[in-house]
Homo-oligomer: A and B are copies of this chain.
Amino acid sequence: MSLESTIHAKATEIAKLSYEMTSAAGSGHPTTAASLAHLVTVLMYTHMRWEPGNPAHPASDRFVLSEGHAVPIVYAAAADLGVLIGWDPSDMRPMTVDDAMALRDIESVIDGHPNPVEGFPFFDAATGSLGQGLSVAAGLAAAARLDGIGKRIFCLIGDGESREGQIWEAVDIIRDHDLKAVCPIFNANAYGQSDPVSEQQSHATLVAKLAAAGFDAQLIDGHNPAEIQESLSVHASSVHDPDAAPVAIVARTVKGWGSPSQQGHGHHGKVADDAAKQVAMDELDTTSRQVGATADTPLRIPDITARKPEAVAVTAVPAFSDAVEAAGLGAAIKDRRMSTRRAYGVALQALGHADARVVALDADVKNSTYAEDFYKDETLAQRYFECRIAEQNMVSFGSGIGAAGKIPFMSTFAKFFTRAFDQIEMAVNSGANIKLVGSHAGISLAADGPSQMGLLDVAWFHAWATMQRQDGTPGFYLLNPSDARQAYALTMQMAEYNGPCYMRTLRPDVEFLYNDGDQFTLGGHEVLTEGRDLLIAASGYMVHEANKALERLDAEGIDATLVDLYSLPFDSEAICDLANANNGYILTIEDNYGAGFGSAVAEAIAGDGGGFSVRQMHVRRIPKSGRTPDDVVAYCGLSADHIVAEAMSILQLTTT
C-alpha cells in the first residue's frame, strides 16, 4: 500500500499548492483542481512516459487538459517536478513554486489557462474554451500513428464540459479511425459552474453514452490510486489488442476533494480568502491523514520508449499545367477554364506527393471540395482523415495533427467553418500550423442558396489580419483566389508557410487569368490592368465580373485599373500608391457581406489621410437560390452592369 499512500500524500501536496497559487492570483479554480489531484498525480508521477526536462518531447506520452480551468493542479505538479518552462524554446528553465505563485501575473509564463506558446510546452494546445480537448488528443494520436510512434494521449474532460456536442464528435472519430492511443478520462465531479451537472452528464449516463458509442467505459473512484492505476492499465493493454474496444475512464471525483468547506454547489471558480484557504488546507491535511497518506515510496516517471519521428524530405511540386495534365484534366488547360476548388484538389494531391507531412481532412464533402483527389490516391489515402459532418471536431482534430508537426489541410464549405470559429481561435492561440480551405464561398454557388454560402467569413478573417501572432506574423492569411492557377500556387504557398491560412474556393468554373510562371504570395495582390481614371479592387469571383465591366468602361472612355485583391492582409502602401495613380478613386468589389476586403482598403486609405474616396460594392441583402451564378450576382447587385453603373457614379459621369 505504500505507493498508494505516497500518491495520496502527493495529491494532497499539489492540491494545497493549487489553493496557494490561486489565492495569490486572486482568481482561478482550486476546487476543480482538487478533484483532479489523484488523477494528475498518478498520470504525471507514475504512469505517463515523459521527461520534465523535455516536456515537448515528440515521443513522450501527451496530456491534454480539455477542462483548461483545472490547470493549477498541473502547474503544481510541474513546479514540484521542475518541468521546463519559458517563452523562448532555446532558453527554458525548470519551473519552481515561485513560478506557480506568479500564476496569472502579466509578467508570468504561468497563464490562467493552458497554452503551449505562452511558456508551457508540456501542453500541445491552448484550452479553456470547453469541449475541444478530446478532438485535439485524437489528432495527436492520428499523427503519432502516421509517424509510427507508440505514445499514448491522456485527455481530461469535465463532466459539465461533456455537454458540448464536440466531445461526442471526438468520441465518434476515435472509433472511426481506431485511435485507441487516446485515453479519455471524464472527471465526474458532479458540479458545473452555476449548477450541479445535468443527469444527462451524470457518471452513469456518461458510461451509458460511451458504451453506446462502442467504448469500454471504466467507472472508477477518481481518488482511489489503485482504481486509477488499474483503469490506466486496461487502457494500456487495449492499445495493442486489435480486438479490444477503445477504453475510456469515467472517474467519480469530489470537487474540492479533501476540504469539506469547499465542497458542494457554489464553489466553482471561487478563490478562498486567507482564512478560508487555511481552513481548506487544514481540512486537506486531515483528510490526507485519514486516507493514510505517507510519502514513503519514491514515485518514478517511466522512461520514454517510443522513438522520435524521422525528418521528412520535401521535393518540388510540378507546375500547374503539368499537375493538371497528370490528373487527367488536360482539357481544362485547352479550354482555359477550371474552378478554383478543382485546382485545390490537384494542388493537394501534388503536395501530398511532395511532402509527407501533408495530411488532408474533410467533413463529408470531399467530392465537392475536391479533397477526394488526395483520398482517392492510394499512396496518399492513409494520410486522409474523413471527419464526417462534424466541423468543430475537424478543426480541433486537425489542430492536434498540426501540433505534432504535420501540415493539416482541412476542407469543407466556407459556410460550415463558421461553426468552428471558436475552435479556430483556440488553434491560433495554440500557435497551430493549420490550413483551412472553405469551398463554395460567396454567392456564385447560386442554386443551393444562403444556407450553403460563405458570406461572413471574410469579415472574421479580416479581424485576424489586423493583429499579429507571438512571432509577429498575421493571425491568419485570408486568401481568395480568382483563378485556378492562382489557387494552385497559393495552396503551395500555404504549405510552405508555418502558420494559419484560410483559402476560399469557388464552385463554378472560371476563366484562367494567369500563366504558369506567375508568382503569388501570401500578402500579395496582382495588377491585371493598368489604367489611370479609377482603381477597381476586386476579389475572388468578382474579379471576373470586374473584367467584364472593364471592357464596357473602356467603351465609355474610362481607363480603369483592375487589381486582383487575393490576400488579406495586403500591402496597404502599394494599394494607396495605385489609388494615387488613379486620381484617388477606388471601387472595391466582393461577393460577401461587408467588413471584408473593401473595409480593409478603406482602412488603408483613411489611415493614409490622402483624401481618396472608397466606394464599396458587396452583398447587402440575404441571397436566395438562383439557377445560375449570373442570376444571383444580379440579384445581389454585383453584375458587370452594376459595376459599370457604380464606376460611372463615382466619376460623376453618365453612360453614353
Contacts and interface: CB of A to CB of B under 8 A. Distances in A.
Interface in A186-228: 192-195, 197-201, 205, 208-209, 211-214
Interface of A: 25-28, 68-69, 103-106, 108, 111-113, 115, 118, 126-131, 160-161, 163-169, 172, 175-176, 192-195, 197-201, 205, 208-209, 211-214, 362, 364-368, 372, 386, 388-390, 392-393, 415-416, 418-423, 425-426, 428-429, 447-452, 455-456, 458-460, 462-470, 475, 584, 586, 592-596, 598-603, 605-616, 618-622, 624-627, 631-632, 634-635
A422 B418 contact: yes
A584 B610 CA distance: 12
Given A421-B418, A459-B460, A463-B596, A614 B607 contact: yes
A347 to B, nearest CB: 19
Contact of A419 (B69, B419, B621): B419
Contacts of A167: 165
A367 to B, nearest CB: 5
B106 A620 contact: no
Contact of A595 (B166, B390, B416, B595): B595
A458 B466 CA distance: 13
A605 B372 CA distance: 46
A428 B618 CA distance: 18
Contacts of A598: 603
Nearest to A160: B389
B415 A129 contact: yes
A602 B198 CA distance: 47
A104 B623 CA distance: 12
Given A25-B447, A462-B599, 12 more contacts: A105-B631, A113-B451, A129-B419, A164-B390, A165-B169, A176-B198, A195-B364, A419-B420, A429-B450, A456-B460, A459-B460, A599-B602
A448 B613 contact: no
6 contacts: A111-B624, A128-B449, A165-B168, A176-B200, A208-B211, A606-B613
Nearest to A363: B163
